[in-house]
Amino acid sequence: MKVGYLGPVDSFTYSATTFLFDKETTAAYPTIVSCLKNLESGNIDYAVVPIENSIEGTVNQTLDFIFHHSTHLIQAEVILPINQNLMVHPNFSEEWRGIDTVRSHPQALAQTQEFLSEWLPEAKQEVSDSTTQAAEWLYDNPNKKMGAIASKEAAVRYGLSIVKEKIQDIPNNQTRFWVLGKEALKKGSLKKELCRQTMTVSMKQNQPGNLHKILSAFSWREIDLTKIESRPLKTKLGDYFFLLDIKAKDSFLIDSAIQEIEALGGTVKNFGSYDVYLKKI
Ligand SMILES: O=C(O)C(=O)C[C@]1(C(=O)O)C=C[C@@H](O)C=C1
């Protein structure tokens, strides 16, 4: 079995991956899309990718790829506490306030905007494919007056100095990661938090009451929606699909809600029913 993830080693996605899988089975990919494409082409059996953060919200790259291209289902979810750290090359640990650029994954930059605007208001913000990739870049460029935002583990791996820890805008920062694959994945040894089902719904055209009709199919059956979000369909301005997360209890009730939505002209795409696991620090 081979499990792909957004790497390199010590990215937050790596931490979510090794919570469920042996390190020996894992393979790092440089971007979310390359990881998901390798799943589609059969080079790996599962892909682990971030989907949502408590500060910055949905990871659109992940959602869009799954909606438009994926033939796999979500088989599990891991929720991970996320502590972001500002690190520099040890050459600059005394004068870190003078760094002119901070690099990280866009999600990590977004999670630390309050810190950056207070402590490094003049520094440029540059994006990297993952937090660890930014740390690796600092290691490769010891003479640049730059900082990276990444995990503690990444700082240790690349011999960088953490100058401020836990710099995310809220203390209880968490990210959800989805494990996609063809085969069901049950981790009997781990306590699951809940079962979730995720689907998208799109309606043929914008008509009054469309969203109300979708929601009422769930509400009168007392099905608990935990998230709803709209994303562009990428057809033309004003066309959207809706992403729905549901607390999965009774699959018969959910199936009948889907039938009702389809009878109303909606197109439903099932992303999967899966167990959710919480990793504690
Ligand atoms: O860059 C990483 O380390 C990742 O695993 C990606 C990612 C994300 O895309 O949300 C994962 C968790 C954090 O929210 C920040 C970055």
Write out pLDDT tens, residues 35-67.
Answer: 999 999 999 999 999 999 999 999 999 999 999
Name the region of 11 (left: φ>0; alpha: ψ -120 to 50; beta: rest).
beta
C-alpha to C-alpha distance for 83 and 165, rounded to whole angstroms: 7
Which residues are CB-neighbours of 244 under 8 A, at least 6 positions away?
A: 198, 199, 200, 201, 214, 218, 225, 227, 228
C-alpha to C-alpha distance for 33 and 44, rounded to whole angstroms: 13
Q: Which of 107, 111, 174 to mutate to test the pocket of ligand 1 (most atoms within 8 A of CB)?
A: 107
Beta-bridge mates of residue 104: 127
Average pLDDT over the chain, rounded to whole?
A: 95
Contact 120, 147 (CB under 8 A): yes
267 pLDDT exceeds 90?
A: yes
Q: Which atom of ligand 1 is nearest to the CA of 14?
A: 5
Q: Which atom of ligand 1 is nearest to the CA of 5?
A: 5
Please give the distance, rounded to the nearest whole angstrom, from the Cα atom of residue 111 to the centre of ligand 1.
10
Give how far the C-alpha of residue 244 lies from the chain's centroid of Cα atoms, to the nearest Å.
16
78 Cβ below 6 A of ligand 1: no
pTM, full prediction = 0.95
In the chain, where the domains are located: 3-81+173-181, 85-164, 192-274
Q: Give the pair of three-digit tokens for residue 274.
A: 């899966």
The CATH H-level superfamily of 192-274 is ACT domain (3.30.70.260)
CATH number of 85-164: 3.40.190.10
Fold of 3-81+173-181: D-Maltodextrin-Binding Protein; domain 2 (3.40.190)
Same CATH fold, 85-164 and 3-81+173-181?
Answer: yes
Position 205 scores a pLDDT of 79
132 Cβ below 6 A of ligand 1: yes
Q: Give the pair of three-digit tokens for residue 170.
A: 């809220």
182 pLDDT exceeds 90?
A: yes
Contact 256, 221 (CB under 8 A): yes
